[in-house]
Structure 1
Amino acid sequence: MSPDTKPAILEFLTGRYPGTEFTYDQDIFKIGFVSSLLATELVVFIEKTFSVSIPGRELRIENFRTINAMDALIRRQSGVSA
């Protein structure tokens, strides 16, 4: 699977919030960085960048709280084990 998921997601987030440092396990909802628009952009970004389809049952907030959670979601949807 290419590109590397975590660095790519990190780059996506820092591109939306320049000057903000994110960590892989930081809850981006808890710190107030996610709006409904950003949540939609994240889904589209993940699907296009990593060539996965995210079914409705996976569109749960816990799958998008952290970069680590998004990485796990991508791995599940692409059939890649950790």
Structure 2
Amino acid sequence: MTAEQTELTAGEIEKGLRGHLDSVLNTAVEPDQDLFKSGLVSSMFAMQLVVHLEETYDIAIIGADLKLDSFRTVQAMTELVLRLRAAAAGADA
């Protein structure tokens, strides 16, 4: 993990996620919008989100973190990214 990656804020991650979702889904999403309940996202698309998050934020999403609730909202995904990046930074220290 590079120093640049460690310095990402929740706002920057949220903005990046919203931009990605807006372009892929062709609609604007709110940070607290339930993507599954709204019908915008399926469980298959959630797997695409896993890949996107892992590649974009240099994290590994495994085990208990692979539950749908981790991908239900932009806020939930932002919290997941921040938590996993913090854990990885702590492991590197």
Q: Which runs of 5+ in 1 are unaligned?
A: none
Match of 1:64 in 2: 71
Greater gyration radius:
2
- Identity score, percent: 34
Number of paired residues?
79
Which sections of structure 2, spanning at least 5 residues, go unmatched? 88-93
Q: Report the Cα distance in structure 1 between the residues aligned to 2:17 and 2:25, rounded to whole angstroms.
A: 12
Structure 1 window deviating more from structure 2 (54-63 vs 43-52): it is: 54-63
The answer to whether the aligner puts 1:46 opposite 2:47 as a matched pair is no
In structure 1, distance between residues paired with 2:86 and 2:25: 31
Q: CA RMSD in A?
A: 1.6
Q: Secondary structure of 1:14's match?
A: helix
Residue 36 (structure 1) shift: 3.1
Task: Return the letter of the residue paired with 2:49.
Answer: L
Separation of aligned partners in 2, 1:41 and 1:28 = 14
Equivalent-residue separation in structure 2 for 1:60 and 1:38 (angstroms): 13
